Amino acid sequence: MITCGRYIRSILYLLLLISVQFGPHAVEGVWPLPQAFTSSPERYPVNSQDFYFVYGRQSAAQQGCSVLDTAFKRYFSLIFPDHNSADGVLGFSKRKLFIAEISVDHGDCEGYPNEDSSERCNTGLETFSQLVYQDDFGSYFVNKTEIDDFPRFQFRGILLDTSRHFLPVQAILKTLDAMAYSKFNVFHWHIVDDPSFPYQSSTFPDLSSKGAFHPMTHIYTQSDVRRVISYARLWGIRVLPEFDSPGHTTSWGKGQPGLLTPCYKGGTPSGTFGPVNPALPSTYRFMARLFKEVSSVFPDSYVHLGGDEVDFHCWRSNPDVRVFMQKMGFGGDFTKLEAFYIENIVNITSALNKTSIVWQDVFDYHERRTSLSVVEVWRAGCYLCEVRRVVKAGLRVILASPWYLDQPGPTHNWARYYTVWPLAFKGSEEQKKLVIGGEVCMWGEYVDATNLTPRLWPRASAVAERLWSDEKQTSSVDKAFPRLQDFRCKLLRRGIQAEPLYVGHCKHEYQGI
């Protein structure tokens, strides 16, 4: 991962052939806080004309590595926003005044980040970029700093909902930028739902041509999807697709007749439709073909199958479904019917070598839990009670319940997302290791491209630190506030329209208006 090297280990050596100066600390700190961080008043001037990145001699990756070459250019521009070009970031200056030497011990430059990608580092590029600052005269400096860093949780995600409101590709890419700055590493793409089906399937083109808000302007083509995945790769971000079923599928039915369950009223079809019909063999043939495509388009080893909020009324009204349930021995227990359906979908994705994630509803209703792998806990209430139940069953957990940011709220309530303790439940160390991380959910009922960025940031950054940093070092809201305020100003200078935390100003205000 580029924030700290999406390689096994990234070491950033600063070879300084310049005079040492002493001055005030001009950086409040790094966000999210590294595991070990020591800074001194000893500082070094940094000049864009004399600064360049080089690969270490022992580095497993060398020049030509697409991920790092791109990162060097990108971070040169972030470190020196006033500089017009990043053309000289790789190479050798005649004066050789400031060299940032990068060493990694895993050279998979063309692969995709995955759940096993180590992010441990001495100083990553994102961290280093936050340490460089400007004085009042426009000169750049960096203080002598020692860092050892790694994430507390391996899964640190943000969910975007592109069904309830369509998000242009550019808005998604902008979010990926901001995610990398906060060291999020999973983009959970809730790409389709009841209102619209914007994913343009090559196997079933009618799904988007009839199910999207508009068949030309409000769709994600195969090229769009590849662009998002490729862009995310260069930031070290995984793209996790979600195709939620059997509920939340109203839009699917428009382009795939016979997929949804016909609802009955008074013994006759009412003309309305409910969840996916789990009683028909054709359903599973369709799903097998769709997920075969999805597994080839999205390279990540995980796929989210949804499974939440299934309304049983329509299934209950349908005589064919009731006959099927009797035949299967389910009686009148529709949770067993849902479990049967999900188990079939899990088997389909398992055959495609994908690890499935499901919402907690599936776990709650599932008797045969051995087929499940990862459960995402989303319901409010005692969410840690649910986490404890899931890990006691030996399953992995992603926590989302406390981090629903789609509802508007004052930015100063960032502390409620910060003071969340994901492992504060009774359990063994082995059970707590099954909590693989958490994610921010940005549902789309009231969110589109006009308000996505300010609603996410900087509140999502509070979650980022909770998922990355040591809990004991980051338990104080008061101590975190000046760092977050400083980080919010960095986001503004990088073009991210992050909301203010309180009264005050940034040296470089947002210029995008």
- Residue 459 burial class via C-beta count within 10 angstroms: exposed 0-12, middle 13-18, buried 19 and up: buried
d(CA 179, CA 498): 12
3-state class (DSSP) for residue 386: helix
- Could you state, in order of their start, the residue ranges of all structural domains in the chain? 36-83+95-148, 155-494
CB 307 within 8 A of CB 363: no
270 token code pair: 């009412």
Nearest to 215 by CA among 203, 201, 198, 227: 198
The predicted pLDDT at position 16 comes to 47
Q: Does domain 155-494 have CATH number 3.20.20.80?
A: yes
The predicted pLDDT at position 339 comes to 94
The predicted pLDDT at position 19 comes to 46
Which residues fall within 8 angstroms of residue 24, CB to CB, at 6 or more apart? Answer: 41
The predicted pLDDT at position 7 comes to 39
User: What is the per-residue pLDDT across 437-477, written as a single tens digit (0 to 9) for each?
Assistant: 999 999 999 999 999 999 999 999 999 999 999 999 999 99
Q: Output the CA–CA distances (angstroms, integers) from residue 207 to 160, 220, 248, 287, 288, in the order listed.
A: 20, 12, 14, 13, 15
CB 12 within 8 A of CB 54: no
- Residue 202 burial class via C-beta count within 10 angstroms: exposed 0-12, middle 13-18, buried 19 and up: exposed
Mean pLDDT by 10 residues, the chain (513 residues): 39 50 64 93 89 89 91 93 66 63 84 88 88 92 92 98 98 98 98 98 98 98 98 96 98 97 94 97 98 98 97 96 97 95 97 97 86 94 96 97 85 89 97 98 97 96 98 97 96 95 92 71
CA 153 from centre of chain: 13
427 token code pair: 């359990």
DSSP 273-317: EEEE-TT-HHHHHHHHHHHHHHHHH--SSEEEEE------HHHHH
- Among residues 146, 309, 445, 471, the one annotated as catalytic is 309
CB 401 within 8 A of CB 416: no
Categorise residue 43: left if φ over 0, alpha if ψ from -120 to 50, beta otherwise: beta
The predicted pLDDT at position 49 comes to 87
Return phi, psi of residue 63, to 5°.
-55, 135
CA torsion sign, 78 to 82 to 88 to 94?
Answer: negative
User: What is the per-residue pLDDT across 115-173, written as a single tens digit (0 to 9) for each?
Assistant: 988 888 777 899 999 999 999 898 999 999 999 999 999 999 999 999 999 999 999 99
- Identical fold between 36-83+95-148 and 155-494: no
The predicted pLDDT at position 214 comes to 98
Q: What top-level class would CATH report for the domain 36-83+95-148?
A: alpha beta
The predicted pLDDT at position 8 comes to 35
CA torsion sign, 111 to 114 to 119 to 124?
Answer: positive
Q: Is 110 a catalytic residue?
A: no
3-state class (DSSP) for residue 40: strand
The predicted pLDDT at position 27 comes to 67
